[in-house]
Amino acid sequence: MDTVRKDNEYIANTYSRFPLTLSRGRGSLLYDENGNEYIDLGTGIAVNGFGVADPVWAGAVMTQANTLPHVSNLYYSAPCAELAELLCQKTGMKKVFFSNSGAEANECAIKAARKYAENKGLTGAKIITLKNSFHGRTLATLAATGQDTFHKDYLPMPEGFVCVDPDEPEALESAVAEGNIAAIMLEVVQGEGGVVPLKPEFAAKAAALAAENDVLLICDEVQIGNGRSGALYGYMNYGLKPDIVTTAKGLGGGLPIGATLLGEKVAGVFTPGSHGSTFGGNPVCCAGAISIIKRIDEPLLEGVRERSAFIISALDGAKGVKSVSGMGLMLGVETERPASDVIADCMAEGVLVIKAKNKVRLLPALNIPFDLLERAIAILKEVCAK
């Protein structure tokens, strides 16, 4: 109770929290301050990909914390270089800029795209983003976010963004044809937008237009990335070859990290002093991330796809379930009852799920034990059927 009182008194009022204070966890189980147990289908919004306090990740973090927890970017440090090498080897991208969050990874992508355009002689080139997208809470990433509700009260938005509807490929074509476009930026599955996968034809069209017009393709993999889609990165399911990939959340496994992966075209765009971050590439965060990225291999991804198929087949057509959308272990369940009521009832029954627009969002750990997943989905089904 003391925590709730202090939080309400002293924390800026930006979050509507559930009435639950979590105090510890292990794998896919979380415990509140009274020792009640919950099956975690939210993973801190797609962060704890290997579960809470995953021992491999915690070991890597503790070792690094006891060795060299922070070093400035004025010096080299091994974890940061090793993580960048791993990310490039696994994706074919050429360079990495490390930051501390998804929004910062996207800020870097926006800056890289603008600088690439500027280097070609295009001043003030715009970035096309999609309606219903979500790219972060900084001002530039808010401007990139195609949902007006996030803009209101914070006007004026930074300039340089054009928003098109992903259901209207002709609108994308016209926006590119207008010229002075630096990049097209998209999430292959819109997470905050309600767990909506992009239509493959639209994604292919965006990729083709980008390639034909020397416009950069930026894939925001902050939520769907790092194994959650059933592939290492979500764009891989679509056969895309992005010029810039942004990632965060699950990469850190529980510590803050953002990464902007730069492909061939933009590998040389930044020069010393052109971008930076005090904590970017922090050795502890990078050591943890190495332990995560090294384990996202084919057997793990196969397990993600299996778990996904199980959830979809259990919920599809179930009483009180209207539809299931998404990909891999990022799923949105449209329910007949209001999503908030389903979420509250699930919590009362010991299952933690979250919301995305009007849907119940499921983001379990990539390695959630099958027995826990089965238990949690059985509870969700009962609650939906009420």
Ligand X SMILES: Cc1ncc(COP(=O)(O)O)c(C=O)c1O
Using the rule CB under 6 A, give the single segment among 32-40, 82-90, 101-109, 268-276 that binds ligand X: 101-109
Contact assessment for residue 167 and residue 224, using Cβ atoms and an 8 Å cutoff: no
The single residue among 44, 51, 79, 136 that binds ligand X, judged by CB under 6 A, is 136
DSSP string for 175-243: HHHTS-EEEEEE-SEETTTTSEEPPHHHHHHHHHHHHHTT-EEEEE-TTTTTTTTSSSSGGGGGT---S
- Choices 5-13, 53-61, 96-104, 371-379; region in contact with ligand X by CB under 6 A: 96-104
Which segment (34-42, 100-108, 167-175, 178-186) binds ligand X by CB under 6 A? Answer: 100-108
CB of 197 closer than 8 Å to CB of 327: yes
- To ligand X, the closest distance from the beta carbon of 72 in angstroms equals 23
Strands 37-40 and 22-26: unpaired
Identify the DSSP state of 156.
S
Restricted to residues 262-301, the positions that interact with ligand X (CB under 6 A) are: none
Q: Which of 222, 315, 353, 383 binds ligand X (CB under 6 A)?
A: 222
Min dist. Cβ of residue 105 to ligand X (A): 7
Q: Both ends of the chain: CA-CA distance in Å?
A: 31
| Shortest reach from residue 134's CB to ligand X, in Å | 5
Size of the site for ligand X (CB under 6 A): 14
Please pick, from the candidates 223, 237, 308, 367, the single residue that binds ligand X as defined by CB under 6 A: 223
Q: Report the alpha-carbon distance of residue 138 to residue 280 in Å, rounded.
A: 17
Listed ranges 9-17, 133-141, 280-288, 319-327: which one lies at the site for ligand X (CB under 6 A): 133-141
Q: Segment near ligand X (CB under 6 A), from 20-28, 128-136, 228-236, 372-380?
A: 128-136
Contact 228, 292 (CB under 8 A): no
* Residue at shortest CB range from ligand X: 102
Listed ranges 86-94, 187-195, 266-274, 341-349: which one lies at the site for ligand X (CB under 6 A)? 187-195
Residue holding tokens 């990022």?
A: 330
What is the bridge-based pairing of β-strands 37-40 and 351-352?
Answer: parallel
Q: Does 107 bind ligand X (CB under 6 A)?
A: no
Among 27, 44, 79, 102, binds ligand X (CB under 6 A): 102
Rounded-to-integer distance, Cα 153 and Cα 83, Å: 39
Write the DSSP symbol of residue 383: H
Shortest distance, position 140 Cβ to ligand X, whole Å: 12
Using the rule CB under 6 A, which residue among 103, 318, 324, 342 binds ligand X?
103
The answer to whether the bond into 272 is cis (omega within 30° of 0) is no
Nearer to ligand X, 216 or 379 (CB): 216
Q: How far is the CB of 41 from ligand X (least distance, A)?
A: 16
- Judged by CB under 6 A, does residue 135 bind ligand X? yes
Query: Near ligand X by CB under 6 A, which window of 157-165, 186-194, 226-234, 340-348?
Result: 186-194
Q: What is the DSSP string of 316-339?
A: TT-TTEEEEEEETTEEEEEESS-H
Asked whether position 328 contacts ligand X by CB under 6 A, the answer is no
Regarding 243 and contact with ligand X (CB under 6 A), the answer is: no
Q: Under the criterion CB under 6 A, does residue 101 sit at the interface with ligand X? A: yes
Which of 220, 232, 361, 377 binds ligand X (CB under 6 A)? It is 220
DSSP-assigned beta bridge partners for residue 163:
129
HSE, side-chain direction, 13 A CA sphere, residue 322? 10
247 binds ligand X (CB under 6 A): no
Does the protein bind ligand X through residue 40 (CB under 6 A)? no
What value, to the nearest 5°, has the Cα angle with vertex 326 and ends 314 and 340?
A: 75
Closest CA to 192 of 161, 240, 149, 227: 149
Contact residues toward ligand X (CB under 6 A) are: 101-103, 106, 134-136, 187, 191-192, 220, 222-223, 248
